[in-house]
Structure 1
Amino acid sequence: MQSLLGIAVKLSHLLSKFGTAALGFVSGAVSAIWTFPAVLGSAIIIAWGAESAQFLISQGLALAILAWLQTLPEFAVEAVIAWEAGKNPANIHLMTANFTGSLRLLVGLGWPMIYVTAAIFHRRRYRRSLGHINLEDEHAVEVSSLLPPIAYFFFIYFKGTLEWYDSLILIGIYAAYLVFLNKIPPQSEEKLEDMERVPRFILSQRRAVRNSIIVMLFVAGGVILYFVAHPFLDSMLALAIGIGISQFVFVQWVSPFLSEFPEKVSAFYWARRVDTASMALMNMVSSNINQWTMLVAMLPIVYAFSRGQIEPIVFDEHQQLEIILTMAQSLLGLLLLANMRFSWYEATILFSLWAIQFVFSGLEKPLGPDVHSNQFTLWIAQVFKVSVRQTEILASRVKWIVTLIYFFWVGFELLMVMLKRRSLAAFTTIPKLVREHW
């Protein structure tokens, strides 16, 4: 009798757990039907406005401002996450998830995909392979401007907190970048006939009509984001619970992928023309810079307003691992571009390392109480006849290993520089640009 009662209790517990998961999945799926397309749509609308507006401002700022405007959806989602974390500090880890995932997607997936796109169309046009993408002298500004925010992030990492004064310093770094960029305008500008169909149509209109359309696109995209950002986050979290995936992992990869999708489309459009592949790459680099600076700088500000007082954002051990992994990847990316070219083997290894840590992200132990273990982890443990705990520990160790590989590669690149086998042309070109344009 006692055993039957025990079985009944366990069965009741399982049904309750399954019912909660099923309810979460249905709720998240229903919301996702309209929130996911809405975020994607707002991002596309803002991207059209941004690509059109770049012809109305100094070309020296065009790529930087285009990159910032195209990632407005990413900023909106991150702001909602920071606001919710202020109400419930247990969700602080989701802030880290979003910005680290976004940055790693840009370098680990975005940069290699630009090379692949350029290589495919280069072979079609010239009937030979593309060894590397050459950068122009003025691109040294974007490449070298990656260094200050990454260097400052070492200070943030070692103190383990993100505070109000960090925001001021990061904003200052970005402002200095814009000022410097404006002084040294690019020599190769995108022509109207080279643009995508919608921006080309907008810019072909009379001045008053053109400007009105651009303003309306920004307003429409902004209004959609204002109303959809919070439901979008809620639907992601509900879907994660329903599917049995860590909310951290879901926010880390799904959110930035959707919000940055139009930016990647624009970059790939430039890359397929081969001649402007370097411009496509710099569009991504500009996004890296504004996310290392402005996106992160926004977090303590929104968090403080939500809390009603100034408080530091404290990173736990898992968040610090995510941050140092992201820093290592971006630092390596900076050094690879420092010789003013991006080669096929560099793109291949960047993508491979990103893919490894991406897969193992889905095996880590979830941080929140809603999901005990990822469904993917349970399946892997069952297939390979190992414990779930062992699988989760392995996933965390693999991330550390990937981080160490990044840093070892950074050390190797610096050794090659010391042996004069590799140049840091991006940094040596800066004084020349200053003399020419200041």
Structure 2
Amino acid sequence: MTGPAPITPTRPGSRPDAAPSRRPALRLLLPLGFVVAVAAQGVALRPAGVDLPPAVGILAFGAAIVAAAFALAWAGEAAELDISGGLAVGLLAVVAILPEYAIDLYFAFSAGSDPAQAAYAAANMTGSNRLLLGFGWPFLLLVAFLAQRALRARRAADADVLQRPFSIGLPRENRTELGLLLIASALTLIIPLTGRIDVALGVVLLALFVYYLVRVARTETGEPELIGVSRDLGALPKRARRIVVVAIFVLAAAVILALAEPFAHSLVSGGRALGIDDFLLVQWLAPLASEAPEFVIAILFVVRGRAATGLGILLASKVNQWTALVGTLPIAHALGGGGWALPLDGRQTEEFVLTAAQTLLGVAVLLSLRFSGRWAVALFVLFAATFVFPSTEARWLVAGGYALLAGVLAVVRRRALGATVAAPFRRT
């Protein structure tokens, strides 16, 4: 059974056929209508004076934020028809973690007048980073393995399908992300040494992120392969498509920014009602909701046989979080009435060390541009170990394990390490 035909974007100056465009428009009514309904219920509950039980607030506002993020992801994919493919992947990664930005920046802004909120900002940021790499990368490889296994059952004679051991290969262009991650990790080591995130460091990290977007904007890619709702958006006439995509970006972003504050309050209130530590609740529950869109997008690519693209999206998201997200925290804190640095206590400093060490191992694992099962297991086991053994001593041991493995891999793959460090600065 053959699938739908690929989309051919409308050429400039041509007049799109009006008849075929009605079918994609009709198919868009159901998914976009569902997203609007879910988002609308959260917006309706937003006005001041509506006192919701914490569990209801978490579900209502969280579902609205995730729904809006999915709409943004669809629009981001469809935008690949109008902008550079490399830039589209980078922006798509930004779009997918917009809920994370909204929630984390709210905590950082609030910390300007309420210093206790600084702990939540650090918790949310480090939790989302470690969840993405420690769970997201290994889970993506598992999905890719299962998808390949299903393909192998249908095409047992194909030598490529029988490839062992299983791994995901990345194109050389992804060395740019790896090099920038390495540089950002070196810069963020300043944070645990000083016990704070300075605005100056934030500006440098933001500049690194802008430089990343400029670099990927120059990357040449082939014709995008859209699926599902994104495909129907892409099938619209060019002018209609651009209007709809921009409208989705603006409206969905407005919903997310409007609901970030009540969602954050519901999380904290719910944790206190259940006797759960506020720090752990904000660190893990909020990222589970805010990271869902990018996980789903990456998995869709993997299921369609584009595992490298799926892993590339998660890699781009990691670059976004480790540069732009970390960089905006002290700026939001200053705008909220705080000083020129976001202060961190001992526990938050420990979280940054653990996250930085995990990031270094993630970069070292991908120096060969291949992500294999054994390293996926290693990343997941070390990630899970901090839940099984939550003591401070155990967490420092895990951070040491990350750093030791990263150092060994860096020595073994020293040639690839040099190429990776130089990649962001080479001519495209």
Whole-angstrom distance in 1 between the partners of 2:130 and 2:56: 29
Deviations 1:292-337, CA, capped at 9 Å, x for gaps: 1111111111111111x53311211111110000000000000100
Matched, 1:68 2:94: yes
Task: Give the 5 Å matches for 1:52-63.
Answer: 52-63=78-89
Where 2:123 maps in the other structure, the secondary structure is: helix
State the match for 1:280 in structure 2. Answer: 310
State the match for 1:410 in structure 2. Answer: 406
Whole-angstrom distance in 1 between the partners of 2:209 and 2:229: 30
Deviations 1:212-257, CA, capped at 9 Å, x for gaps: 2112211221221132111100110011011111111111111111
Which residue identity lines up with residue 149 of structure 1 in the other structure?
A: A
Where 2:189 maps in the other structure, the secondary structure is: helix
State the match for 2:340 in structure 1. Answer: 311
RMSD: 2.1
Task: Give the 5 Å matches for 1:227-306.
Answer: 227-274=258-305, 276-306=306-336
Contact 2:360 2:406 in 1 (8 A): yes
For structure 2, the residue ranges without an aligned partner over 5 or more in a row are 1-50, 154-161
Where 1:88 maps in the other structure, the secondary structure is: coil
Distance 1:288 1:63, change over 3 A: same
Task: Give the 5 Å matches for 1:24-35.
Answer: 27-35=53-61
Shift of 1:360: 4.3
Q: How many residues align?
A: 369
Shift of 1:266: 0.4
Whole-angstrom distance in 1 between the partners of 2:298 and 2:142: 12
Matched, 1:190 2:221: no
Task: Flag the structure with larger Rg.
Answer: 1
Contact 1:143 1:426 in 2 (8 A): no
State the match for 1:151 in structure 2. Answer: 186
Shift of 1:346: 0.4
Contact 2:192 2:350 in 1 (8 A): no
Give runs of ≥4 in structure 1 deviating > 4 Å: 186-189
Shift of 1:66: 1.0
Contact 1:45 1:220 in 2 (8 A): no
Which residue identity lines up with residue 402 of structure 1 in the other structure?
A: V
Moved more, 318-327 or 399-408: 399-408
Contact 1:139 1:186 in 2 (8 A): no
Shift of 1:130: 5.4
State the match for 2:30 in structure 1. Answer: none
Whole-angstrom distance in 1 between the partners of 2:246 and 2:84: 18
Distance 1:142 1:343, change over 3 A: same
Distance 1:428 1:290, change over 3 A: closer
For structure 1, the residue ranges without an aligned partner over 5 or more in a row are 1-24, 362-394
State the match for 2:19 in structure 1. Answer: none
State the match for 1:375 in structure 2. Answer: none
Whole-angstrom distance in 2 between the partners of 1:215 and 1:187: 22
Where 2:112 maps in the other structure, the secondary structure is: helix
State the match for 1:18 in structure 2. Answer: none
Shift of 1:345: 0.2
Which residue identity lines up with residue 177 of structure 1 in the other structure?
A: Y
Contact 1:142 1:286 in 2 (8 A): yes
Shift of 1:281: 0.9
Task: Give the 5 Å matches for 1:20-419.
Answer: 27-127=53-153, 128=162, 131-183=166-218, 185-187=219-221, 190-191=224-225, 195-274=226-305, 276-307=306-337, 310-361=339-390, 395-417=391-413
Shift of 1:416: 2.1
**Fraction of identical pairs, as percent:** 32
Which residue identity lines up with residue 215 of structure 2 in the other structure?
A: F
Contact 2:367 2:413 in 1 (8 A): no
Whole-angstrom distance in 1 between the partners of 2:357 and 2:421: 23
Which residue identity lines up with residue 245 of structure 2 in the other structure?
A: I
Where 1:313 maps in the other structure, the secondary structure is: strand
Distance 1:121 1:214, change over 3 A: same
Contact 1:103 1:288 in 2 (8 A): yes
State the match for 2:156 in structure 1. Answer: none
